Amino acid sequence: MMALKVFDWPFFVLLFVVDITGVCARRFNGAYPEDRPSWARTALGDTIITLINLPFAFADTIFLVCGFFMLPWYTVLICGTAALLAMLLFWNVLFRRLVRRCGLFVAILISYPVAIFTAIWCFQEEYLISPSLFSYILIAIVLCARIVNALYAKKMFTQRGL
């Protein structure tokens, strides 16, 4: 059994990586056709890409909710906030250059395997706790925020005619 900590490095790294893959997955689904490889512009290719992107697009939310079953709520909030800030800094300083230079598809080819290996590394230790009532409230808030964000994005795409 692992001691309960205020900050959990493996969980922070996992959230950081899945935040990046989530951004890549959501942007790739909305990318213009010329940004995609030629095989991904077909109906079958689009279906395959969508099926691959779907778990990565929601991985940030899924792992954040899972965190409330593995760690105390304050650890999840601290790690989640730190991972979000680190991801924003990393994306805007370094990763955006890779996307501009090589394309979003190359960024996906790099970030998806890293996310999978990070999840395997993070979950080598088995540690589950009984979430508190506050953890359940935060899970509801995270899920509601994700639903509102998805509905807002759908509304924006509909208004732009995409």
Q: Is residue 104 within a helix (H) or strand (E), and if so which, with residue range?
A: helix 104-122
Q: How many structural domains does the chain have? A: 1
Q: Is residue 17 part of a domain?
A: yes
The CB density around residue 84, as the number of other CB atoms within 10 Å, is 15
The overall average pLDDT reported for the chain is: 81
What's the pLDDT tens digit per position in 2-28?
A: 456 788 888 899 999 999 998 888 888
Q: Provide mean pLDDT across the span 123-129.
A: 68
Q: Is residue 85 part of a domain?
A: yes
Buried residues in 86-116 as b, exposed as e (16+ CB within 10 A): bbeeebeeebeeebeeebbbebbebbbeebe
Cα-only R_g, the chain? 17
Q: Is residue 1 part of a domain?
A: no
Which residues form the domain of 73?
9-160
Q: Provide mean pLDDT across the span 106-111.
A: 86
